[in-house]
Amino acid sequence: VAFLLLLQIGVMVMTHGDDKGLVLPPKVAPIQVIVIPVPFKDADTTGIKGACESAVYTLNQAGIRADLDARENYSPGWKYSQWEMKGVPLRIEIGPKDLANKQ
């Protein structure tokens, strides 16, 4: 029984993996969407963070497993790579231009 489970996991990794890492199908991914704030030097970081929290809340209320990566000690590019390697299928980036355009 354990062998069959291991075999199924191996087949899923081989099917959904690429050079950047594992890309899980949204139905099996523990986190379906990761929201990443992209602040610039002179940007309103509290507004960006608030918009990200609001987006995560809205997605969670809709039944989508979403999470916010608000760590300040890592660059947005590093976060993109990390979540891509972890297999999160979708990423939402929110920055000052998105707030200015009310997107």
Do 46 and 94 touch, CB atoms closer than 8 A? no
Total count of domains within the chain: 1
Per-residue pLDDT of the chain (103 residues; tens, 9 = 90+): 677 888 877 777 777 666 766 777 778 888 999 999 998 877 778 889 999 999 999 999 999 999 999 998 999 999 999 998 888 989 999 998 888 888 7
Handedness of CA 93, 97, 99, 103 (dihedral sign): negative
| CATH number, domain containing residue 52 | 3.40.50.800
CA-CA-CA-CA torsion sign (37, 38, 39, 44): negative
Range of the domain at 90: 2-100
Side chain identity at residue 34, one-letter code: I
Output the CA torsion sign for 48, 53, 58, 62: positive
